[in-house]
Amino acid sequence: MTWNQLTGRIHELARLVGRDVYLMEVCGTHTMAAFRSGLRQLLPANVHLISGPGCPVCVTDTNYIDAAIELTRRADVTVATFGDLLRVPGSDTSLEQERAVGGDVRIVYSPTDALMLARQHPRRHVVFLGVGFETTAPTVAFNIWTAARDGVSNFHVLCAHKTMPRAMEALLKDQTVRLDGFMCPGHVSVITGLEMYEFIARDYWRPCVVTGFEPADMLEGIAMLLAQIVAGVARVENQYTRSVTREGNRRAQELLAEVFEPCDASWRGLGVIPGSGLAIRPKYAAHDAAVALGVTFRAARVHPGCRCGDVLRGVVQPTQCPLFGKACTPLSPFGPCMVSAEGTCAAHYKYGYRMAA
Amino acid sequence: MCLAVPARIVELDGTRATISVEGALREVDVSLIEEPRLGEYVLVHAGFAIHKWDADEVAEWERIRGMAETVPKEVAT
């Protein structure tokens, strides 16, 4: 099928639907890919892509950032993190600002690099900031398991890992969210497989299509969602067949189950969602920074004008936030959605805002 | 954050592999996939291969990327 044939099919399906349709791209990587490729401009006027809560940095609570900042102020602690978290504002400061005044904050490409730091500096506690969904969590689980096996007692993880299905359910229960189908996160699904979305189609009657990240993948995913809506069915389908299998990555699933257990987790914008987080099992408590280093999570302050929470639920567009593009820009962000490379506000600012202006 | 890129295994040593992403080389861990082999394509995330593509899956990738070649000029620009 050519590009024109595919976009033509989407327009034909949208005409058959005959009403406004709201499709959520759950994953932040989809959000960025949609903006970067310009595919939103190709869609019919009645097909709306809305961004979901799938940017891990964006949904991480401010009190987690505050706890990480507190760790950087301890003389014997090195904090290792993916670069995304560096500029996220805490209540008063950010990891980047703490690093500028002498905090030992290292950017790493993989949690394995953090474990390596711990091996190289046995007198320091190395704390990796464990943020991310099912795609990232196995890589962290592997390093906790390895540290336990090798007795690297100075390697710890400050754990805020989250899982997608219950957050998607929370959106469906929220009466303010208009949602006709999910473009499900492709790389989360590489690990989990397809099964975990079945309850959404069965109990909430919303089509789900696991989708890849090339522009043509996303157009195919949109066409598959619209075809289900036209046919009046709700199923879990897989557009990303080259990477996602029904059963997922069993090795990664076993590691997740070995190291983590489900817990309630607090999501920015969605509140506490039961069973939506991953906590380090007591067996690995020596590598749990919250336990081993006595980290406490205190009530945080967020800017009262920041609407990141509503943006993450898909209830408002970034341009509806009073701070967007004025007080809050990528150079001086107030909220995490403007910081992260895959944050919805950052995507709107970089690709959409100037076009609309 | 859930970005993962396709890459080809160009060296393999136990659970460590050197991968090539369009010519750029990087070392990754292959503990999370079964029976990695030289020359195979894998999806890489945060320093780990998380999935292995067979020949059909590589062909599917080429089909999807090939579709970009059919984008009309007025859309591409």
Asked if A105 and A117 sit in the same domain, the reply is yes
Q: Whole-angstrom Cα distance, residue A245 to residue A110? A: 25
Interfacial B residues in 12-51 facing A (CB < 8 Å): 28-29, 31-34, 43, 45-48, 50-51
Cβ–Cβ below 8 Å for A242 and B58: yes
Q: Is residue A230 over pLDDT 50?
A: yes
CATH number at residue A45: 3.40.50.11740
Residue A266 pLDDT > 70, yes or no?
A: yes
Q: Please tell me which residue of chain B has the smallest CA distance to A134.
A: B2
Nearest neighbour of A3 by CB, restricted to B3, B56, B70: B70
**Is residue B20 pLDDT above 80, yes or no?**
yes
Q: What is the mean pLDDT of chain A?
A: 93
| Residues A259 and A328 grouped into a single domain | no
Q: Are residues A211 and A314 in the same domain?
A: no
- Which whole number is the average pLDDT over A237-261? 97
**Interface membership of B65 toward A (CB under 8 Å):** yes
Q: Are residues A244 and A177 in the same domain?
A: yes
For residue A155, list its beta bridge partners. A126
Question: Which residues on B lie below 8 Å from A188 (Cβ)?
Answer: 2
pLDDT surpasses 90 at A238:
yes
A61/A196 same-domain check: yes
Q: In Å, how far is B77's CA from the nearest CA of chain A? A: 11
Number of domains in chain A: 2
- The answer to whether the CB atoms of A242 and B57 lie below 8 A apart is yes
pTM over 0.90: yes
Q: Could you give the domains of chain B? A: 5-76 (2.30.30.140)
* A201 lies in the same domain as A273: yes
Q: Which value does ipTM take for this structure?
A: 0.92
**Residue carrying the six token digits 């890919």:** A33
How far is the first Cα of chain B from the last one, in angstroms, to the nearest whole number? 29
pLDDT of the residue at A130: 97
Q: With beta carbons less than 8 A apart as the criterion, state whether A225 and A210 touch.
A: no
Q: Are residues A196 and A339 in the same domain?
A: no
Is residue A269 very low, low, confident or very high in pLDDT (cuts 50, 70, 90)? confident
pLDDT above 70: percentage of residues in chain A: 99
Q: What's the confidence (pLDDT) of residue B70?
A: 79
* pLDDT reported for residue A55: 87
| pLDDT 10s digits, A36-57 | 888 888 999 999 999 888 888 8
Give the tens place of pLDDT for each residue, A212-222. 999 999 999 99
Residue of B nearest to A55 (CA): B1
Over residues A267-276, mean pLDDT: 89
Per-residue confidence (pLDDT) for residue A53, from 0 to 100: 87
Distance from the Cα of A338 to chain B's closest Cα (Å) equals 14
Residue pointed to by tokens 């009073």? A322
CB contact under 8 A, B64 and A84: no
What part of A 23-42 touches B (C-beta under 8 Å)? 27-29, 42
| Whether residue A124 is found in the same domain as residue A146 | yes
Domain check: are A287 and A329 in the same one? no
One domain for residues A234 and A334:
no
Domain boundary residue, one of A304, A322, A339: A304
Q: Is A5 found in the same domain as A34?
A: yes
Residues A195, A105 share a domain? yes
What average pLDDT does range B58-63 have in this prediction? 90
Domain that holds residue A151: 1-304
Helices (H), chain A: 3-17, 28-37, 56-59, 62-72, 95-100, 111-120, 137-150, 165-173, 186-192, 198-204, 215-231, 250-259, 289-292, 308-312, 336-339, 344-347, 354-356
Contacts of A243 in chain B (CB under 8 A): 43, 51, 53, 57
> A 215-254 residues with CB below 8 A of B?
215-217, 220, 241-243, 249, 251-252
Q: Is the CB of A128 inside 8 Å of chain B's CB atoms?
A: no
Beta bridge partners of A77: A125
Work out the end-to-end distance of chain A between its first and last CA atoms, rounded to an integer number of angstroms.
Answer: 35
The residue among A314, A270, A41 whose CA lies nearest residue A181 is A314
Domain endpoint, select from A286, A304, A322: A304
User: Which tokens hold the place of A10?
Assistant: 């989407």
